[in-house]
Chain A
Amino acid sequence: MNKNKKIYYFLPVLSLLVFLIIWTILANKDGSMLPTPLATLTRFFEIMQKPISKSTLPLHIWASLKRVLIAFSIAVISGISLGIGLGWNKKFNAFAGPIFEILRPIPPIAWIPLVILWFGIGETSKIVIVFIGAFIPIVLNTFSGIRAIDPLLINAGKVLGANKRQLLTDIALPTTIPAILAGIKTALSSGWMCVVAAEMIVAKQGVGFLIVRGQESGDTALIVVCMLAIGIVSAILSTILTKMEGVLCPWKFSKTK
């Protein structure tokens, strides 16, 4: 047993080593465009000090993050409200549901050309695209969360004399929090992906811009640095939200463990 455990500590190290070796071999092949891991690392330190288009890597990341955070906050507030409205009020659902259903399957990225025509290539258009990307999962999850409430809870509330508002704020909303948080998690990663996509199409700043700059100048090391940076930011964002989930609805975690 003890010997087995040691193997499981050793295997991840081995796998990362093999990964790096394969990467190096691929990069060193004749005519390969891939940068070696070492070249990537050097490029990383270089971009930390030497700015491209007036910003170093952290500033580009911050530019993208700012767009995401603004759009994301708007999407959280409006998305949860719309989701509750659709889930809670049958008439409102009948009225607005079909419109939402028409717009829902269009991927946020497909909005980019139209949004650029509407708002130009400035900051607003990027925020709108991220907003669309984040808004839809939040509405969907809030809606299905409200719909999935156990009718027993609602009936119990009614029997005990709760009015409509109390049923919503004291029973429906707390029960829906895990679903809403799951939606928020999807929304944040989708928003982050949308900002990268929007910046890749038009931008003067941001990680998406940086990665395209790498492509245009054939600077593959810069591209890989950006890819890793984008991945790391996205991992950090989702870790933060998972932590928040534990704080906001601890019962969900105690149940699974």
Chain B
Amino acid sequence: MVKNKNNKIILILLSILGLCIFFGVWELSIRFGFLSDRTMCTPSTVIKTFILKLTETKPDGATITVHFLSSIKLSLAGFLMAVAIGVPLGLFMGYYKALDSLLMPVFEIVRPIPPIAWIPIIILTLGIGFEAKLFIVFISAFVPCVVNSYLGIRLTNQTLINVARTFGASEWQIFSKVCVPSSMNMVFAGIRISLGNAWSTLVAAEMLASTKGLGYMIQMGRTLIRPDIIVVGMVTIGLTGALMAMLLGLCEKKVAPWRYK
């Protein structure tokens, strides 16, 4: 028991040590000039820049809060639309064979194209405004929703369906009471991928064509050779992504609690 406790303390100390070394080497290698401060900034500068960017609009035209809100609004809107349309579509495609063979061929053509490759054609047809980015985010989140919901239904245990049929369930009842609940695992895995996709695709879209948003901010940081702005942007993007994934995990627990038994 005592040994166990000691072990835990050692592990925690090792974690702290690891982080200290990581940040220490980062900070010192720039302080002592191993790395040029034109290409990288110290962690302390990152924190300073972050606090400054909360109120300062220079050099990229907006405070970090404005960039952040603009990005999050877009990605959530696109993501929610994709879930609302993609999940039901995938579920129905998985259950109704006619719908499957009608839509699958077209879907199979569109599916392997990475969402980023849509950006140029969308810029040319829809411009660089809100709708254009919404559409790109939507595509990136839509595909995993459909694929996973479809697979979820397809992987439903045949025995469960047979049991329901023996007890006289109608087709709709089998679909809604047996297949849909049993597919929830896959559906949520898909939604999780969608969320990550939506977020990183939006960053890409903002880097390529935008006038605000976190992606725009880091791109400006590059043009102006301001590594501190880039790193602040990256950290914010990373944190937001992790936070959204966490919130989704909480939702999942509410909607499909049996997964956590």
Which positions in A face B, CB cutoff 8 Å? 7-8, 11-12, 14-16, 19, 32-34, 90-91, 94-99, 102-114, 116-118, 189, 192-193, 196-197, 200-201, 211-212, 214-215, 218, 220, 223-224, 226-228, 230-232, 234-235, 238
Would you call B18 and A94 a contact (CB within 8 A)?
A: yes
Q: Is B54 an interface residue (CB 8 A)?
A: no
Q: Is B160 an interface residue (CB 8 A)?
A: no
User: Is chain A's binding surface mostly helix, strand, loop or mixed?
Assistant: helix
Q: Mark B228-252, 1 if CB is under 8 A from A, else 0.
A: 0011011101110110010000000
A contact residues around B70 at 8 Å (CB): none
Q: When chains A and B are docked, how far (Å) is the Cα of A88 from the Cα of B191?
A: 30
Would you call A117 and B116 a contact (CB within 8 A)?
A: no
Would you call B233 and A15 a contact (CB within 8 A)?
A: no
Which one, A94, A97, A108, A215, contacts B124 given CB within 8 A? A215
Which one, B11, B98, B124, B237, contacts A106 given CB within 8 A? B237
A contact residues around B222 at 8 Å (CB): 112-114, 116-117
Q: When chains A and B are docked, how far (Å) is the Cα of A33 from the Cα of B121?
A: 9
User: Could you say which of B117, B237, B239 has the most chain A C-beta atoms within 10 Å of its C-beta?
Assistant: B117
Would you call A97 and B15 a contact (CB within 8 A)?
A: yes
Would you call B112 and A197 a contact (CB within 8 A)?
A: no
Q: A108-B200, A109-B207, A200-B208 are in contact. List 12 more A-B contacts (CB 8 A).
A: A12-B105, A15-B101, A91-B11, A102-B238, A105-B245, A109-B200, A110-B215, A110-B237, A197-B114, A211-B117, A227-B113, A227-B117
A–B Cβ pairs within 8 angstroms, 24 of them? A12-B104, A33-B124, A91-B11, A94-B18, A95-B18, A98-B19, A105-B242, A106-B234, A106-B235, A109-B203, A114-B222, A117-B40, A189-B114, A193-B114, A196-B116, A200-B208, A211-B120, A215-B121, A223-B121, A227-B118, A227-B121, A230-B117, A234-B112, A235-B112
